[in-house]
Amino acid sequence: MELNEKQIGILKVAEKLFAENGYDGTSVRHIAREAGVNVAMISYYFGSKEKLLEALLFNRFSGFRKEMEKVIAASDDFPTKIEAIVALLIRRVHTNRHAYRVVNFEFSNALRQVSFENYVKQKRENYNMIEKLIRSGQREGVFSDNVNITLIVPTILGTYFHFINNERFFRALHGFDETITTDDYVYTVLTTHIQQTVKALLTNTIPPGKT
């Protein structure tokens, strides 16, 4: 789906408002006002609020497969590939965290008349690529056979979102340096921790300093 600059601007505003107010709490009129366009333009481009959300999801989550393919092809070393996949996944999720919040809430709403078919298809393809990589590492004897592959991605995302959703608590509890931005912490300390955790799970080893 090729989007023009005006459509992308509308989607960015919609994403922000959906994340702040929820899907039901955000009207097309509100989106139009914040985006500086009229309601008719949104209807022309997207047809309905449901279709606008579908376009938002497709725009945010497409292209990840190609990025993963590049990362996997960049090295012959399986642990290095896994580290790169973890870093890529965290970067993508962190960059699109508002969209993920919308998805997590709306996808659980059984009454929502929004199609998540393309989103689920993309997620399935991404999961399959990661599973294929891990199984290749198992066949080469690099990764342990005693690992629940299905839970690797939830382990990555669960750790990330637990931190993001409780950042203020973590900062207060652990006395984080206030000069460290959220982005810096996520892309350095948190990413390294998750990389070590995933490699430990895949190889049945304990990361340094974890004993």
First to last CA, the chain: 49
pLDDT tens by residue, 123-145: 888 899 999 999 999 999 999 99
CB of 31 closer than 8 Å to CB of 42: yes
- Measured CA to CA in angstroms, residue 37 lies from 16, 18, 22, 33, 144 at distances of 16, 17, 21, 6, 55
CB of 59 closer than 8 Å to CB of 98: no
Q: To which H or E segment does residue 130 belong?
A: helix 117-139
- Give the confidence band of 119 by pLDDT, cuts at 50, 70, 90: confident
pLDDT tens by residue, 74-91: 999 999 999 999 999 999
125 vs 196, more confident? 196
Let me know the angle formed at the C-alpha of 177 by 171 and 181, rounded to the nearest 5 degrees. Answer: 80
Tokens of 84: 């790169």
pLDDT tens by residue, 2-58: 788 999 999 999 988 988 888 888 999 999 999 999 999 999 999 999 889 888 887
103 vs 11, more confident? 11
Where does the chain hold its CATH 1.10.10.60 domain(s)?
5-59
Q: What percent of the chain has pLDDT over 70?
A: 91
Q: What is the pLDDT of residue 160?
A: 95
Please give the CATH number for the structural domain made up of 62-203. Answer: 1.10.357.10
CATH class of 5-59: mainly alpha
Q: What is the pLDDT of residue 174?
A: 78
- Measured CA to CA in angstroms, residue 163 lies from 72, 147, 148 at distances of 27, 24, 23
Q: What is the pLDDT of residue 134?
A: 96
Where does the chain hold its CATH 1.10.357.10 domain(s)?
62-203
Gyration radius of the chain over CA positions:
20
Q: What is the pLDDT of residue 100?
A: 77
| Other residues' Cβ atoms within 10 Å of the Cβ of residue 66 | 9
Q: What is the pLDDT of residue 109?
A: 64
| CA 13/CA 57 separation, integer angstroms | 13
Tokens of 14: 């919609």
